Chain A
Amino acid sequence: MTDSRDEPLVLGIETSCDETGVGIVRGTTLLADAIASSVDEHARFGGVVPEVASRAHLEAMVPTIDRALKEAGVSARDLDGIAVTAGPGLAGALLVGVSAAKAYAYALGKPLYGVNHLASHICVDQLEHGPLPEPTMALLVSGGHSSLLLSSDITSDVRPMGATIDDAAGEAFDKIARVLNLGFPGGPVIDRYAREGDPEAIAFPRGLTGPRDPAYDFSFSGLKTAVARWIEAKRAAGEEVPVRDVSASFQEAVVDVLTRKAVRACKDEGVDHLMIGGGVAANSRLRALAQERCEAAGIRLRVPRPKLCTDNGAMVAALGAEMVARGRAASSWDLSADSSLPVTDPHVPGHSHDHDHDHVHEVSKENLYS
């Protein structure tokens, strides 16, 4: 074991959605995880409003950086680098974090690392369970993403195995919660009701699980519609909607497909480690079923504690520290926020103007410059 003082001390900033996250790590050790959330401001809109999130990031950033430094008990001068989510995410929200990170790194004379949000979700597990095995299979599920990724080196090689072809898993939870009038966000409340319901009460469809369907892609749109129709039929017939059973059966359909495909991908690729991250990884049934199926298949499961699964700054710092440790190139001062940064780019090295990828910046669909 090397002296932990030799490990890079990195501050990470995350603003891709509605959480303003600032984390500080030393190598794979978590020192601070400060979060300011604007979730309450979005609740009445039933989803994240990009402009509301961006405004909240600007307000929260400086106090959150301050809080993280105090929590970690370190001085900004001692940092070895500043990492920031460069994408993917909401364009306007990302830009607030990127602006802060650039100014902070520049003023302190530290290197800047623009990193990928999805790779950060994977790398955060180093703070919980130590260095990532190489390769690692990762199942990332949240309100914004549902992907199966295979990584042999989190700083340079992340390969997409599959992804949702329509809604993200977390989005389906939000929508069903809305149909059931349970409020926003939907994940935690459905998880709670589901614990008292019967997961086999209603046979909801398992999307993309036919023999000719893509093995690792997901689809939750059909499930969402099937559940909504089932509830509407009950209401139309004047019957009471069994919220607990609907929640349990819906949740079971989601986590059944997620874990089945993740375990299959591990087996097919000969990978003996599966990590699960993203906000939906906080779901208790997903954790339990994944554990059960991984054990049966001889796969070691790694799921960080719920607070590290949802968006946070520590995950960005974790990946930044790995970039420093492996000597990856820092980003340049013209680093831009890229709402559709491809998952195959774990970070955005310098001279970003020479580095273009052919994709449209339309993922967030927000009117950026209105």
Chain B
Amino acid sequence: MLLLALDTATPAVTVALHNGTDVIASSSQVDARRHGELLLPAVDRVLAEAGLKLDAVTGIVVGIGPGPYTGLRVGLMTADTFGLALGVPVHGVCTLDGLAYAADIEKGPFVVATDARRKEVYWARYADSRTRLTDPAVDRPADIADQVAGLPAVGAGALLYPDTFPGAHEPEHVSAAALAGLAAEKLAAGEELPAPRPLYLRRPDAQVPKNYKVVTPK
């Protein structure tokens, strides 16, 4: 098994190669505005570091979010197209699950929260690093305060709002290494991973115009 994992659902542009037991090369860069520019060079670097070519890969793992849409789509579109060109399966993994796995918490419950911008967080509750208890959601931190009260929390969304998440700690962003590790475990256990479809959680901002604007001065 050789998995190429990538995630662009948080400010991190992160890529890893995983042979089913270990991460053999990885790269993470934090730059929330340059996912599109950074991802392919990162893939190229990681492959070069491992001394491998892309066609050696047997599967693609991609973070499906939730995350800011523009960046999120860079990873998904790249993964989809790799899958098409190489004829290998593309597996989705919830980005919050990747963060939970990296947090390495044996006994929860705990919370993963990432920055959803517009003063909101993407979040979910976990029993332990491998077991999610709630569907990913997007909310204002103050509105979920009683649901997360007293729980440890990880992720940039938790670190950003200490009033709601006083117990916030690292990791801040997801790593493709964690995403790959989680996917490798699940695939080895014969579990099915979700399709590589984005978790947007919000509808597009668009308003149906009521009527055209009258131009005749009153």
Residues of A within 8 A of B (CB): 44-46, 49, 51-52, 54-55, 58, 61-62, 65-66, 76, 91-92, 95-96, 98-100, 102-104, 106-108, 175, 178-179, 225, 228-229, 232-233, 236, 333-337, 367-370
Contact = CB atoms under 8 A, between A and B. Distances in A.
Contact of A45 (B68, B70, B198, B208): B208
Given A99-B78, A104-B84, A333 B40 contact: yes
Contacts of B198: 55, 58
Contacts of A96: 73, 77
A228 B215 contact: yes
Contacts of A107: 54-55, 81-82, 85-86
A92 B80 contact: no
A103 B204 contact: no
Interface residues of B, number: 44
SS class, residues of chain B in contact with chain A: helix
B77 A99 contact: yes
A233 B85 CA distance: 59
Nearest to A48: B206
Contacts of B80: 58, 61-62, 100, 103
Interface string B13-36: 000000000000000000011101
Given A45-B206, A370-B118, A103 B77 contact: yes
B192 interface: no
A178 B84 CA distance: 41
A232 B214 contact: yes
10 contacts: A46-B209, A52-B206, A54-B73, A58-B73, A65-B84, A106-B54, A107-B55, A107-B86, A232-B215, A335-B37
Contacts of A108: 85
A58 B70 contact: no
Contact of A369 (B71, B83, B204): B71
A254 to B, nearest CB: 18
Contacts of B34: 336
A232 B213 CA distance: 11
A335 B23 CA distance: 28
Nearest to B90: A62
A313 to B, nearest CB: 14
A114 B123 CA distance: 37
Contacts of B117: 369-370
B81 A99 contact: yes
A101 to B, nearest CB: 8
Contacts of B104: none
B200 interface: yes
Contacts of A335: 37
B70 A54 contact: yes
A336 B74 CA distance: 11
A66 B32 CA distance: 32
Nearest to A104: B81
A229 B217 CA distance: 9
Can you list the 8 inter-chain pairs with the closest CB atoms, starting with the nearest?
A: A107-B85, A51-B204, A103-B81, A49-B206, A99-B77, A333-B40, A103-B78, A232-B216
B124 interface: no
B81 A62 contact: yes
Nearest to B214: A232
Contacts of A106: 40, 43-44, 54
Interface in B191-218: 198, 200, 204-209, 212, 214-216
Contacts of B208: 44-46
Contacts of B39: 99
B70 to A, nearest CB: 5
Given A99-B39, A178-B209, A228-B215, 11 more contacts: A51-B206, A61-B81, A98-B36, A99-B78, A103-B85, A104-B84, A107-B82, A107-B85, A337-B36, A367-B205, A369-B32
A100 B82 CA distance: 8
